[in-house]
Structure 1
Amino acid sequence: MSLIIFVSGALFGSFLCLASERYCPRRSFFASWRSLCQPPSHCLTCHHRLRWYDLLPLVSFALLNGRCRYCRHPLPLNLLLAESGYGSACLLLYWLQPDPKPLIAVLWFSSILFLLATIDMRLLLLPDELVFALLWSGLLLGEYFPLTDIRARIEGVCLGFLTLFLLNALYRLWRKTEGIGQGDMKLLAGIGAWCGWQLLPSVVVIAAVLALSVLCCQRKILVTLQENIPLPFGCYLSVAGWICFILNNLISYPLAL
């Protein structure tokens, strides 16, 4: 059963990676989803259509030594990371929560956060359709996780948005420019709908630590890193929200206030 869960997760991780790559803000959200079927999967370098046996998660990458079968150009590493990472995450969630209904709910939560994080990394954008899907599904599906009641989740929505809104207002007074995007505010509200207001301080702290750690590593590697480069903070909020939700609801590690 564990092998089936891992392989299914790897397949779905590959699909989510494709959905993220084909999302285009100039098209409607539903038009972007239709683009998952047309054009068919192809090599981004030689544009050769890929066969089904070229799309087997992890296996194809290993058999082809990480290169396109037709032009031998290196395959994107993010695909390997998405397949292995999402497959491992699904397996971990199955071990922690084998009950089908809560498991499906947390997989939905994980999938939306994955899409939001990868789209934000690529485009510095958090689509409203995904953010609001995260928010409303958190209010509706949170009943499967009794540690957070509906009142705490509603308060989490309000506090999540207001926290970053006020921080941005203070930053704007200090630097005369925007410091936090509205997408990040709405994303934290969506995370609050799942985690409740009690976990939001931990989410913000972990996200800030992750962002600063990555920024410091970039400055070590790229000495000429320019200042005032936009930071995909939504990516770090997504990771932090997922970590806090799993620790609090599935592992029962105390993070809430």
Structure 2
Amino acid sequence: MAQHRFHKMHGLGNDFVIFDAREHDLSLTAEQVRALADRHLGIGCDQLIVMRAPSATGTADMAMQIFNHDGSEVSACGNATRCVVALAGHDVLIETGAGLLRGTLGDGAVTIDMGLPGLEWDTLPLAYPMDTAHLPVGWEDLTDPAAVSMGNPHVIFFVADGAAVDLERLGPLIEHDPLFPERVNVNVAQIADDGIHLRVWERGAGLTLACGTGACATAVAAIRRKLVTGPVQVHLPGGTLTIDWQPGGPVSMTGPTTHVFTGEIDI
């Protein structure tokens, strides 16, 4: 049996199985990813991460491959990036499908420079041109959303009561709408005195306790609409992230990580 070592980590409850394949290559099929991510029959996670050697010498310290719970591969995951930096144990430049992301270790937290947000309709992408600050679309009571790409597509709804939204029902409906050719992450945000309260339906993963790119996208959308100013606290079911963004600049995300356990498995 070929045993593969893995780490189980989470960022605010958004949990990951992380394999280090920088020295020994590891190839995974979508079926294997789904089996490993299964919470009853596998290890269980929202996303599965493979740390790899960078594609070109000198461009980054490592590369990161990201798989959703359903086996699909995606370009970005903010909470997973923070966990990988914490696992590395030092500041690191990571090559992702969304570009190079720099992670910095702090006092009990990790800060990621998430790069510039994508604010153009074809960056997300959308099926046809429209103003991403105010999309002229809606699904039942969810109307007037914003759209932001953080290397993955997000649609953001600002509502009076985020807890009252039936996101388990509406999330899949919006995720698979033809307006979003690559599907979309669905964010429901409530502005409060202490910041933004956020729930996220992640494409390919469903409801999660936290979503780093969702927190970034929502903060950007709220700042664009002048609902808040940066830095802003984004409160998710699993905890709080600090997001900072000044228009025209990169997005910064800071939050804690937790190493749960290390194990070995025969894939």
Q: TM-score, normalised by structure 1?
A: 0.27
Which structure carries more relative contact order (alpha carbon 8 Å, separation 6+)?
A: 2
Q: TM-score, normalised by structure 2?
A: 0.27
Q: Which has the greater radius of gyration?
A: 1
- Higher relative helix content: 1
